Amino acid sequence: MATKKKMTAEQKLDSEIAKYKKAVTSYRDKYNNAKTKQASFVKKANDAKDDKTKQFMTTIANSWKRAKDGYKAGYDRNNTKLQSLTKKKTKFDKEKVKRNLAKVSADIAEHGKKVDAGENEGKIAVYRTDGQSTDVVYLATTGGESDDTTSDISTWARDEGAPAHNYARVSGKNVTTSGIITGATDHESREKFNKLLQWHSRHYELTYKGKIYYKHLMISDIGRTYDDYDTNIKFNLTMQFSYPVKVTTEAGTKKTNKTTKSTKTVQGNRNKTYKSLTVKRGMTYWQLSKTYGKSVAWLEKVNGKSLIAGKKIRVR
């Protein structure tokens, strides 16, 4: 008879969370049903034409009320437990990420020693930035490593004295490399390449660590060639920098004009001020486009075709 596989601590926690989620949903549905039933019989009692019917309906309504209160208590009890387990899971996940990234870092350091000792697997390491896996794919470059950064800069005239950085943003940052994925067997090298394909198809955020080092990359292009190697694969890889967005807002206090500041971190770092104002009589999009460096088409798209006095609109 096969022995039952022992659950890990993470699996046990996930199982408990799933159990209490199911219980919370069940109690919530039962509570809502009992609440509806109670209200229905209360109405019937109020609409009753005689005392006997009224008393009968009131008795049933009270019965549903007791059931409702019981379901509410069950919901609260299970929801409290679920919240506790969810917090525990969050803490567990954070610790897991730290452990995984520490293991990846140690593995890369150990791998570097082996390469220095003569192994030809290559020192470039690619792995998931989020720490959800300890898998590392090592690449041996033959075509070198390169990165390229581009920016979009507005061609509109900007306000005199306005910061230049308000009119520019990093639009792209790419890392490109080519070389060999090695393997003791054909299967081993295929497994490594397939891992990169999986990360590409799932659009994972990756860390590239070679002579170039970036943490927030996604694979935009990947290719392979089977040439004169028995077990190795020639590859070409392009990765694009993609940063998470962090937004903070700060509103002004003036009644007529309001400026909202939003700090965003996107493909590269930039600080951009979004300005809004209150429309006054006689204002036109053409005037605003000349003043704030935005096209009439952009202003109409953001704020609508018509300018209405007293309405707040965005101009930058």
Domain ranges of the chain: 9-98, 120-155+163-241, 249-314
- How many helices and strands, by DSSP H and E, does the chain display? 5, 10
Mean pLDDT value across residues 202-210: 95
Banded model confidence at residue 270, pLDDT cuts 50, 70, 90: very low
**Per residue in 105-155, pLDDT tens?**
999 999 999 888 887 788 999 999 999 999 999 999 988 899 999 888 888
Confidence (pLDDT) at 3: 55
Pick 225 or 118 by higher pLDDT: 225
Confidence (pLDDT) at 269: 43
Confidence (pLDDT) at 246: 59
Find tokens 């955020």 and name the residue.
205
Mean pLDDT value across residues 156-184: 85
Banded model confidence at residue 258, pLDDT cuts 50, 70, 90: very low
Distance CA 158, CA 287 (A): 14
Helix (H, G, I), strand (E, B) or coil at 262: strand
End-to-end CA distance of the chain: 71
Residue 172: name the closest of 151, 186, 191, 155 by CA.
151
Banded model confidence at residue 273, pLDDT cuts 50, 70, 90: low
Confidence (pLDDT) at 291: 79
CATH 3.10.350 for domain 249-314: yes
Distance CA 98, CA 96 (A): 5
Contact in structure between 115 and 139 (CB atoms under 8 Å): no
Separation of CA 101 from chain center: 19
Average pLDDT, the chain: 86
Find tokens 């004169």 and name the residue.
228
Confidence (pLDDT) at 257: 46
Confidence (pLDDT) at 133: 94
Instruction: Say if residue 264's pLDDT is above 70.
Output: no
CATH number of 120-155+163-241: 2.40.30
Token output for 262: 């939003």
**Per residue in 232-245, pLDDT tens?**
999 999 999 987 66
Range in 46-50, 171-175, 296-300 the model is least confident about: 296-300
Distance CA 188, CA 220 (A): 24
The kind and range of the H/E element at 105 are helix 51-116
Name the β-bridge partners of 153.
168
Banded model confidence at residue 79, pLDDT cuts 50, 70, 90: very high
